[in-house]
Amino acid sequence: MTSKKDIVEMLRLRGEAKQRLHREACEIRDSRIGKKVFLRGLVEFSNACGRDCLYCGINRSNDSVKRYSMSVQDIAACVDEAYAVGYRSFVLQSGELRSEEFTSYVEEIVSAVMASHPSAGITLSCGEQSDETYIRWRDAGAKRYLLRIETSNRRHYEILHAKGADFDDRLRCLVALKELGYQVGSGVMIGSPHQTIEDLAGDILFLRDMDVDMVGMGPFVPHSNTAFGGFPAGELDLALNMIAVLRKTMPTINIASTTALETLKEKGRQLGLMASANVVMPTITPERFRGDYLLYDNKPVSSLDLAQILNVAVEGIESLGLEAALGESGDPLHFLERKNHG
């Protein structure tokens, strides 16, 4: 089994050795799960948030954010439009509110999407919630849930979050989601303030030990209106190496090539695929809201329409000799294996 020290060494690789690492990871991806890249339409349906994560641009203390919550009807329409061009899986993401009102709002959204598209894969990414809430959303039809641990180092977690955020609560949520039968995704920010390379190696081992099905991780990118606005962004090569090392550690999970990569470098998402990611999540948020969901500065806000955004993503995938798996919901092989053995 790979040790923390070995992982640190791999994360430090640059130049030719780094390219070799990425190639090896891609060979593992191709032989274990194939050359298919799954597409998820990302709907950032609300930026209302009750949390104060110190890195995040839509945290509750940022009063320069124009808050919005899309109507259930608008969300359903946006999913319909994306379905028509070939998406079969959707990530519904928002800030985090904990109230009966928010729970039933999300429940209605999921029910509305399921009513029109019963075979669609719905992933929710709406933060920490009670077991009861997770149960209601699952029963409405959500099968996947994304909740990043952000950092697996408890002390570091406390540095990244305002008082009141509890590492154990986050862990409890991840365990509950799994027990409730969700396909569970987690991940971390790479190069966040006060993080060490040993922390990142620990993150890989954490994701392995949690036996997650999906991972989304990307570089930290500062947002000027937050406590961490003055910190530098995470390093691209480090983020790419994290993807490659994770693939070597967990060959059959889904790994997303995230938008934050694209923020650091044009075509950064393609670099993520070349480091062995197998999922991309183009935004399908209606244009009038895109500019208000700014988790960090310089987040690319496209003025293209949904079909054009998809075309760009598909071309990017195909230019690498990979296949854009349109029309597929894209369950992670890891989840199917876990279910068969469990």
**Residues of the shown chain interacting with ligand SAH in the complex, contacts defined by CB under 6 A:** 55-56, 93, 95-96, 125-127, 147-148, 150, 189, 218, 220-221, 223, 260, 295-296
Q: How far is the CB of 62 from ligand SAH (least distance, A)?
A: 11
| 271 closest CA partner among 280, 223, 195, 329 | 280
**Cβ atoms of 247 and 29 closer than 8 Å:** yes
Q: How far is the CB of 221 from ligand SAH (least distance, A)?
A: 4
Nearer of residues 96 and 107 to ligand SAH, judged by Cβ: 96
Q: 157 vs 296, which CB is nearer to ligand SAH?
A: 296
Least distance from ligand SAH to the Cβ atom of residue 160, Å? 10
158 class by beta-carbon count within 10 Å (0-12 exposed, 13-18 middle, 19+ buried): middle
> Rounded to the nearest whole angstrom, what is the least distance from the CB of residue 168 to ligand SAH in the complex?
16
Cβ closest to ligand SAH, residue 57 vs residue 286: 57
Q: How far apart are CA 72 and CA 103, in angstroms?
A: 13
Least CB distance to ligand SAH at residue 16 (A): 29
The interaxial angle of helices 131-140 and 167-179, nearest 10 deg, is 40
Would you say 88 or 170 has its CB closer to ligand SAH?
Answer: 170
Q: What is the distance between the alpha carbons of residues 71 and 311, in angstroms, rounded to a whole number? A: 27
- Of 38, 57, 39, the C-alpha closest to 49 is 57
Q: Which is nearer to ligand SAH, 193 or 286 (CB)?
A: 193
Which tokens is 87 given? 């998406």
Name which of 280 and 324 has its Cβ closer to ligand SAH. Answer: 280
Closest CA to 96 of 35, 52, 131: 52
What tokens does 220 get?
């930290």
CA-derived radius of gyration, the chain: 18
User: Measured from the CB of residue 265, what is the shortest distance to ligand SAH in angstroms?
Assistant: 14
